[in-house]
Chain A
Amino acid sequence: MKKLVVAATLAAAVAVLATAAWGSTSASHKVAAPANAGGALVKCGKSRAIGLLAPITGPAASLGQPQVHWAQYYLSTYNKTHKAKYHFVKEDTQLGSANGTAAAVAGAKALGSNAAVLGVVGPAGSNEVKATTGALKGAGLGFVSGSATNTQITLDGTRTGYFFRTVPPDSSQSKSVAKYITSTLKVKHVYIIDDQEAYSTGLADEVQAQLKAKGVDVGRDGVSQQQSDFTSLINKIPRSMQLVYLPWQLPPKAKAFGQQMKSLGRGSTKLMGSDGLFDPAFSGLGSNTYDSFFPLNPSDKRVAAYKKIHHATELFGAPSYVATQVVVGAVDRACKNGTASRAEVRAQIKKTKIPAATSLLGLPVAFDAHGDMVKKPFGIYHSVKGVFVRVG
């Protein structure tokens, strides 16, 4: 009898886990149609699909969820006023999780094999962009990221004509950061800590070069994204350092770093993050916290409407709104004759021209030959009462 009870309990536990696991996978990989080659024509119809690659769960979910909300916000406002109705096929890239980029690649392959998907919004991180390029390019899909800022991902030529972004590159970010640190904060000693990921090391290198060129004393170190104990590293930072620059993508980690700094009596040292840390978790560390972030027009009425709908103050996902606008616009134009191919959508993405008046970014959106925006300034923000306020 005992054996029977044990066996039944184990069987029930396994069944519950298997059902839950099946439920989660079937929800995200429903369509597994044969791959649509980039040139194959698809009948457009009233219902149209675009892919969305974002860190919906995982350590960077606090950044991924706003991206999903902003992208969805664009689709819902668009669908209200147009005959064609768009929907997302979402794939979770789990940025920063122990899976590495495997989840992102699996998601990209799933989108590539879904014949209905004509273009993709995302992925969020530069590492994920690199990892998914093979799958997305192989399927002929154009992809537009609202947050991948590594300078080289557009300049190395690997994904030219396929990859575009609605955020300025790190080269632009590093100039704004270095200028603010030296001209406004008047800081002479800076310690840079990267997190060993492509996004982080690329941006750290550029900021380091810019600061050194301006005569600043720069120290450099790195951490692993999986690390939680920063105390040993903090001990290593010379007390003469006035500012620690963290080009990271995981706000909870930066929050832990800031708290450990305070617990070791280093609370007076300034902290500056990058766009990946534009999050309440980081701004909540106090008035010694600064951040650099994408350009945005905060007075745009769509920003106010979004905040009202989602009861949110974050703006990190706003460029994903513009990325969705770009992809939907390109599909619309490609679908004018009733059919469209992925190659046609890519060509239309390249021709995008969103005037400043209708762009949420407060500047016109058009792409250069590499896939970068033609105009690309960056803003600097300061934490005031736990909320980032633009100061530069």
Chain B
Amino acid sequence: MRPATRWAARFLCDLPLVSCILFFAELARSVPLGINWSLFFGELVSGLTLGSIYALIALGYTMVYGILKLLNFAHGDVYMVGAFIGYFVLHWLGGPLSPAVTGWFAVGVMFAVAMLGCGALGVGIERFAYRRLRDAPRIAPLISALGVSIFLQNTALLLWGPQFRDYDTFDLVGVKSYHIGTNFFISNVQILTISVSIGLTIVLALVVSRTRTGKAMRATSFDRDAAEMMGISIDRVISFTFFIGSALAAAGGVMFGLVFGQIFSLMGFTAGLKGFTAAVVGGIGSIPGAVLGGFLIGLTEAFATGYLPGGSVYANLYVFALLIAMFLIRPSGLLGSPAIQKV
């Protein structure tokens, strides 16, 4: 190739990266320099809260990808189903205004039933939509995942309609706001969300690193055929992975309802995309990466809303710009390892 042609080709390849750098440089220029600590801490708490939910969704994406190399695009809709299960359990317990049990106990039951229900749903999805396609070309399960996503979305619309449903968290648990000094405010529901998310992540990390099932999961992820030859039941491991991933998504759905007050049938689409973005940014296949990615996406969204021009309307623009930048700078994600192929 001639030098001029090579330069032209290189310029064209680098154009998106250069555009991204220019874009963020332009944004940085418009950020006010004086620090408003109240705003800073507010956005920090909002970002961590939102990031906790994204992290739980991202964990499901990353676990399934780690085991099956499948992007389970139905995962966001499992999260939506989890939020609805939580809502119906709440009303089965008498509703937020007159629950048959104490508010916090009702919240515990909502989490438990939603996680079990979605875990079962995840296992069902894997059994009926993905298992037969395990050895098919990789595009086939991807299309199947999109089909399951649309099926779940439309079933939810058909069964529950497009209207918003209120968790009425204020009536249920009595939301309280705590403050340290005049700048740092956090509500009890935000504390619950962040701590439950961290707690579930620690439990997951322990399951994966300390139990026989976790060891089987790691073995399957490393080399499925070899794991099978060692006597590991691949079907059982994959079902367990789907169960855990879907249960975590359900917990995220219930958290969303508790923190933001309302849920709706199409809430899974954008949340699923954000969870996927978090998994990719963190390094898909990496559990700590998914959590890191989730918090990073949540913080980006919150700080973009608080500080960047038009941020409250176009926060998603900044989030997905981050995804593109990550793809360009580090395609394997923050904690992901580049795939090495033997040639």
Contact = CB atoms under 8 A, between A and B. Distances in A.
Contacts of A21: 158
A59 B302 contact: no
B101 interface: no
A232 B128 CA distance: 40
Q: Which of A221, A224, A236 has the most CB of B within 10 A?
A: A236
Interface stretch (A75-83, A122-130, A180-188, A261-269): A261-269
Contacts of A264: 42, 177, 185, 187
A252 B262 contact: yes
A274 to B, nearest CB: 19
B155 interface: yes
B331 interface: no
Contacts of A362: none
A262 B170 contact: yes
A226 B312 CA distance: 12
B47 A97 contact: no
Given A235-B42, A265-B179, A17 B162 contact: no
Interface in A253-284: 253, 255-256, 259-260, 262-265, 281
B260 A17 contact: no
B163 interface: yes
Interface in A219-240: 221-224, 226, 228-236, 239
Interface in B142-175: 154-155, 158, 161-164, 166, 169-170, 175
Nearest to B305: A232
Given A232-B43, A232-B47, A255 B261 contact: yes
B218 to A, nearest CB: 31
Contacts of B187: 263-264
A352 interface: no
Nearest to A226: B270
Contacts of A265: 177, 179, 185
B43 A233 contact: no
A222 B311 CA distance: 9
Interface residues of B, number: 45
A202 B332 CA distance: 46
The interface residues of chain B, by DSSP majority, are classed as helix
Given A196-B313, A235-B46, A255-B261, A58 B177 contact: no
Given A229-B260, A263-B177, A263-B187, A252 B166 contact: yes
Contacts of B302: 231-232, 235
Interface string B20-63: 00000000000000000011001101110110000000000000
Contact of B312 (A17, A57, A233, A281): A233
Given A57-B163, A223-B312, A260-B261, A233 B305 contact: yes
B301 interface: yes
B70 interface: no
Contacts of B38: 235, 239
A71 interface: no
A235 B43 contact: yes
A228 B269 CA distance: 14
Nearest to B132: A6
A222 B163 contact: no
B313 A222 contact: yes
B46 A232 contact: yes
Using C-beta atoms within 8 Å of the partner chain, give the interface range for chain A.
35 or more
A33 interface: no
Q: Which of B46, B185, B266 has the most CB of A within 10 A?
A: B46
A229 B50 contact: yes
Contacts of A10: 128
Contact of A232 (B155, B179, B261, B306): B306
A94 B306 contact: no
A268 B170 CA distance: 16
Interface in A47-71: 57-59, 61-62
A98 interface: yes
A263 B177 CA distance: 6
A145 B279 CA distance: 47
A20 interface: yes
B84 interface: no
Nearest to B47: A232
Nearest to B128: A6
Nearest to A16: B158
Q: Which of A59, A235, A281 has the most CB of B within 10 A?
A: A235
Interface in B237-270: 256, 259-262, 264, 266-267, 270
Contacts of A252: 163-164, 166, 262
A222 B313 CA distance: 6
B261 A259 contact: yes
A177 B223 CA distance: 67
Contacts of B158: 17, 20-21
Given A17-B155, A263-B187, A59 B301 contact: no
Q: Which of A58, A98, A263 has the most CB of B within 10 A?
A: A263
A17 to B, nearest CB: 7
B336 to A, nearest CB: 27
B315 interface: yes
A256 B162 CA distance: 17
A228 B262 contact: yes
Contacts of B47: 232
B189 interface: yes
Interface in A178-214: 193, 196
B312 A221 contact: yes
A62 B163 CA distance: 9
Nearest to B266: A98
Contacts of A239: 38
A232 B259 CA distance: 13
Given A193-B312, A235-B302, A259-B169, 8 more contacts: A59-B164, A223-B313, A226-B270, A231-B260, A236-B312, A262-B170, A263-B169, A265-B179
8 contacts: A17-B154, A59-B162, A62-B163, A221-B312, A228-B262, A232-B305, A233-B312, A235-B302
Interface of B: 38-39, 42-43, 45-47, 49-50, 128, 154-155, 158, 161-164, 166, 169-170, 175, 177, 179, 185, 187, 189-190, 256, 259-262, 264, 266-267, 270, 301-302, 305-306, 310-313, 315
Name the 7 nearest CB pairs between A and B, nearest first. Answer: A235-B42, A232-B305, A265-B177, A252-B164, A263-B187, A231-B46, A256-B261
